[in-house]
Amino acid sequence: MNQYDYIIVGSGIAGLYTALLAKEQGSVLIITKGSIDDCNTKYAQGGIAAAIGRNDSPELHFQDTIAAGDGLCNEEAVRILVNEAPDCITDLVNFGVPFDTLDGEIALTMEAAHSRPRILHAGGDATGEHIEVTLSNRVRSSKIQVLEDCLATEILAEKGTVTGIKALDCRTGSIEQFGCRFLILATGGAGQLFKFNTNSEIATGDGIALAFEAGAEIIDMEFFQFHPTALRLPGVTPFLISEAVRGEGGILRNVDGYRFMPDYALEGDLAPRDVVARSLLYEMEKTGSDRVFIDVTHLPPSVTTTRFPHIYRFCLDHGFDITKGLVPVAPAAHYMMGGIKTNNWGETNIAGLFATGETACTGVHGANRLASNSMLEVLVFSKRIMEKTRKRAATEAPIIGEGVEVHHSLSQREISKALRPPSLSALQQLHWDKVGIIRNKEGLAEAADILAVWQKSLPQPTDRPSYELNNLVLTGRLVTEAALLREESRGAHFRSDFPRSSSQWQRHIVFTSK
C-alpha cells in the first residue's frame, strides 16, 4: 500500500490550496473522482470577502457574519475567520491570482448583508475560475501526485485513528488502498440533491457519506442555502446570476415589471439570501409564474459588461442581451452550511481525519452563510489544518456553536412501502418538493420515509454513478431528518408549520453512526 504524509480528497480550491501548503511539510496525494479541473469553485462568481478596505475592519466583518448566522455561529471561529483573512488573501496574490484592481489597489464591491464593500473578485464575475486555474496550474507544476478519475469509497482506521483510504479507479473498476498520516476531506457540497441547483455534477455529498460511515460527527445539515437568482430558461441548466449583480444596483421585478422586494424586506433587493429566496417563491406564486426578473438595464452597459463579463456572455449565448432586457431567474439550491463537524483546526472526532471547504462545518456560517465567506473559510481553515499537523499537537475537543448540541442516530424507520431503487432525477425531485426552500412536517416525514426505503433497496455500488447515488441518498437522509427534528424557522431553514425561531432551538443537531 502506497504511503503518504497527506492524502487530500477533492480538487476544488479547498483541495488544491491545502495541497500546495501541505507539500512544504511532506508527501501529498490528491484523489479526485473527475479531472483536477472538475469542481464547484470555478462556478463561484461573487468573490472572497475580506476586511481590507480603508473604511472596513475585522470587527465589522464579524458583526455582519454573526447577524447572517442567525444565532448559531461559533463566535470564536468567526473571529478567526475575519482576523486571518488578510494573510490568506496575500497567499493567493503570491500564488498569482489576478484580482481585479482599481487605481492600483484591489477593487472591492458590495454584496447583500455586508455593511461595507469588501468583496474581492477576479475577472469580474469569474473569481472562482481564476483561482481554480491558478492553483491547479501550480499543483500540476509541483511534485504533488494527483490521481484523477479515482473515487474515494471508504476511510480506513485502526483504534480510532485514520490509516488511509480505499478508492475506486473509475476507468478500470478496481479498488485500491492508500495509506496516510493525515486524511483531509475537501469533497465539496451536495447540491445535486435538488432538481434545481447551481452546483456542478460532482457535488454529490461524497465527503459527508464517507465521514458519517467512518463514525465522524455530522452537524447542521438542515441548513442548506438556496440562491435566490439562478437563470431560469427552458432546457438550460440553472446558471448562477451572482448576488453581486444586485450589489451593483440590479433590481428584482415580477412578470408585470413591478419591483416587489421592498414589500417583503426593509433591505429590499439586498436582503439576506434566505429572505430573498422565499420572497421570490411567494411572488412567483402570487403572479402565477415560474420566474421573476433581474433588471440591470438602468446601469451603464459598460459597467455590466466589464463587471459581469461571464454572466453577460452566457446570457448572450442563449439569445438575450442583459444590458437591454430583463434576466429571468428563480431560486436554486446553492450551498450546504452543515457538514462534517470540525474544531477550529479542521479536526474531526476521528484522529487524523480533517475536513475543509463546503464538506466541513467549522461553525462560521451558522444557520445562514454570509455571501462570499465560503472561499475565505477554505483559505483560513485549510491553513490552520497545516499549522495543526505541523505541530502534531494533541487533538482538542471540537467547539461548534454557542448553543447545546443534541446527538442523534438516523431513525430506524419501520416502513412497508415497496419502492424501486431511486433514479437521480427522482431523488432530486423529492428533495426539491419536500425538503426545499419552504418545508413542513408532512412533507419532511414523507421524504424521510421514502429515503429510508430507498437506502435499504439500493444495490451494492460498483461504479461512480452508483456510489454517487448511494452518497446522495445518505446525505439526503441527514438533511431531511435534521429538518424534521428542528421545529422552528431559523436562517436558511424555514418551516411553514413553525414559522418563527425559538430560543429552545438555539442549539445544533449532530448525527453519528457509531
The catalytic site residues sit at 273
Q: Are 269 and 261 in contact (CB under 8 A)?
A: yes
Q: Identity (one letter) of the amino acid at 76?
A: E
Q: H-helix or E-strand containing 58?
A: helix 58-69
Q: Are 303 and 248 in contact (CB under 8 A)?
A: yes
- CA 236, CA 341: separation in Å to the nearest integer? 35
- List, in sequence order, every residue forming a beta bridge with 227; answer none if it has no partner: 332
Any residues with CB less than 8 A from the CB of 49 and at least 6 apart, and which? Answer: 61, 85, 111, 114, 118, 119, 120, 370, 371, 372, 373, 376
Burial string for 379-389 (b: 16+ CB within 10 Å, else e) reads bbbbbbbbebb
Pairing outcome for strands 119-120 and 108-109: antiparallel
Q: Are 241 and 108 in contact (CB under 8 A)?
A: no
Burial string for 392-402 (b: 16+ CB within 10 Å, else e) reads eeeeeebebbb
Order of all β-strands in the sheet with 119-120: 48-49, 119-120, 108-109
- CA 373, CA 495: separation in Å to the nearest integer? 25
Q: Are 399 and 344 in contact (CB under 8 A)?
A: yes
- CA 359, CA 339: separation in Å to the nearest integer? 5
Q: Are 265 and 271 in contact (CB under 8 A)?
A: yes
User: Exposed, middle or buried: residue 67 (CB in 10 Å: 0-12, 13-18, 19+)?
Assistant: middle
Structure-block grid coordinates of residue 501: 425561531
Query: Looking at residue 29, what DSSP letter applies?
Result: E
Q: Identity (one letter) of the amino acid at 162?
A: V
